Chains A and B, each alone.
Chain A
Amino acid sequence: MASRYDRAITVFSPDGHLFQVEYAQEAVKKGSTAVGIRGTNIVVLGVEKKSVAKLQDERTVRKICALDDHVCMAFAGLTADARVVINRARVECQSHKLTVEDPVTVEYITRFIATLKQKYTQSNGRRPFGISALIVGFDDDGIPRLYQTDPSGTYHAWKANAIGRSAKTVREFLEKNYTEEAIANDNEAIKLAIRALLEVVQSGGKNIELAIIRRNQPLKMFSAKEIELQVTEIEREKEDAEKKKSKKTV
């Protein structure tokens, strides 16, 4: 039945599906994993770095992008679609600042991106954007925010979420491990993001990229060395926990 209703984006199937939108969500799953965590005083974005070809400039393969000084976003899905959405969002951030003399709120820019995506699900001759995005930042009131958008144009606020390949596995890990103690301080929130990614990332810390925003501070990208230190600490804590567990059973 799907084949009669999946060619045109503007056509509903008899049971209410917009197949092109659902297929766009499959395109998102082809992108590598991205995870977002909202801490008490910090927001963290972690992504699985795609392996780069030998002759390719690594700096041009980025999954985490700043939209403004206080907002950044990670995406999963079609690279070219992400570039278009990011450019539009960046222009909107500056336009808003010039017009109302205030930086955008995280919710405003998320709504802008979601509205843009929704328009492309309702226009003839176009196709939906094949990306999901995690948008993090701090508003003027100092409250950390994490939002997620998907190809259908919906957006929701989250405490922690994952998108891309193996997102389900990472989300289940976060559901079990996201507690008030886990995000009690900034370092714990960072470790939670790395631990979530290590569940699905091949070859450990080498393939992880991390960005944080602290209240009233600009975006900070972690270097490979800093990530390696965190991974070493996580592995040490894991070993200690296993030793304690084996002592208890003995």
Chain B
Amino acid sequence: MAATFFGEVVKAPCRAGTEDEEEEDERKKETPEDREVRRQLARKREVQLLRRQTDTSLEVSLLEKYSCSKFIIAIGGNAVAFLSSFVMNSGVWEEVGCAKLWNEWCRTTDSAHLSPSEAFCVFYHQKCNPSVFLCQCSCYVAEDQQYQWLEKVFGSCPRKNMQITILTCRHVTDYKTSECTGSLPSPFLKALKTQNFRGRVCCSLLEQPNIVHDLPAAVLSYCQVWKIPAVLYLCYTDVMKLDLITVEAFKPILSSRSLKGLVKNIPQSTEILKKLMTANEIQSNIYT
């Protein structure tokens, strides 16, 4: 135990290693009921990839079933809204699967008509060019589910001849800088890429000691390990809920190689985005 300046007593980490022994003894005392509960919980937390129309699981991972040259993954409400308005609106996209998962923070919805306020993870490919894939993921994927998600999507031995683009948001207070966060021009974009990514990035690179978290980090690490060219565009914003200015902060990416051919009518996309915002505004009276 140790005491701090303020008189609070904190548990200091013990280097003698006695705590591990106590944990092992506890595990030996585990009853069959405990094991059954643990098994059921693991089953509940399984990530499943299925075809929504038939409600059947995909037999192999998504990218083993379909060949992929380009994969754009949007994680979080604002990134999903950006892809919905600017990319999905400019072509015909066919749904190829959806990820079903449960954790303490979210339960993915099964309904056919998904709104930005619901949690979902759906995969599409372009009808005229089926090797171009899109993923819209607005649900939270827990740490223990991230590897399952990667395996179900990429497979155990992914192909290297594809390019991955990941879009996501983070609150500006997570951005570590010597400047005061109040003076930062949020929202702003930062990029992080794998070693094999040779293309041009559309904004400045993320500086140290900033790190990426959750599913975007898992995807990027996976791509780095498997030598897949991938780039992550991270938008730091002060409004995490669906917000027009945050979504528009992703606009510089429209000039990147991965999105250039996919976006056709930008003014129309902006109008669609505005309608999406007004349709889904949550009426809250806490802030004025």
Q: Which residues of A contact B (CB under 8 A)?
A: 11, 25-27, 29-32, 50-53, 56, 61, 63, 75-80, 82, 165-166, 168, 200, 202-203
Contact = CB atoms under 8 A, between A and B. Distances in A.
A166 B245 contact: yes
A78 B286 contact: yes
Interface of B: 6, 173, 182-183, 185-186, 238-239, 244-245, 274, 277-278, 281, 283, 285-288
The 6 closest A-B pairs by CB, nearest first: A53-B283, A30-B287, A79-B288, A31-B287, A29-B238, A31-B288
Contacts of A31: 287-288
B239 A202 contact: no
B107 to A, nearest CB: 27
A52 B182 CA distance: 28
Contacts of A77: 287-288
Contacts of A79: 285-288
A61 B274 contact: no
B287 A78 contact: yes
B278 A51 contact: yes
Nearest to A82: B288
Which secondary structure dominates where chain A touches chain B?
loop
Given A53-B283, A168-B183, A202-B244, 20 more contacts: A25-B182, A26-B238, A27-B287, A30-B239, A30-B286, A31-B287, A31-B288, A32-B287, A51-B283, A56-B283, A76-B288, A78-B286, A79-B285, A82-B288, A165-B238, A165-B239, A200-B245, A202-B274, A202-B277, A203-B274
Contacts of A27: 287
Contacts of A168: 183, 185-186
- Which of B182, B183, B277, B278: most chain A CB closer than 10 A? B182
Given A166-B245, A202-B244, A63 B238 contact: no
B20 to A, nearest CB: 26
A63 B288 contact: yes
19 contacts: A11-B6, A26-B238, A27-B287, A29-B238, A29-B239, A31-B288, A32-B287, A32-B288, A51-B283, A53-B283, A63-B288, A77-B288, A78-B286, A79-B288, A82-B288, A165-B239, A168-B186, A200-B245, A203-B278
B266 to A, nearest CB: 17
Contacts of B283: 51-53, 56
B93 to A, nearest CB: 27
Nearest to B243: A165
A79 B284 CA distance: 10
B244 A61 contact: no
Contacts of B274: 202-203
Contacts of A78: 286-287
A32 B288 CA distance: 6
A50 B288 contact: yes
A80 B274 CA distance: 29
Contacts of A26: 173, 238
B67 to A, nearest CB: 41
A153 to B, nearest CB: 16
Contacts of A202: 244, 274, 277
A30 B237 CA distance: 12
A76 B287 CA distance: 8
B2 to A, nearest CB: 13
Contacts of B286: 30, 78-80
A92 B182 CA distance: 32
Contacts of B244: 202
A200 B283 CA distance: 20
Contacts of B185: 168
A189 to B, nearest CB: 24
B101 to A, nearest CB: 29
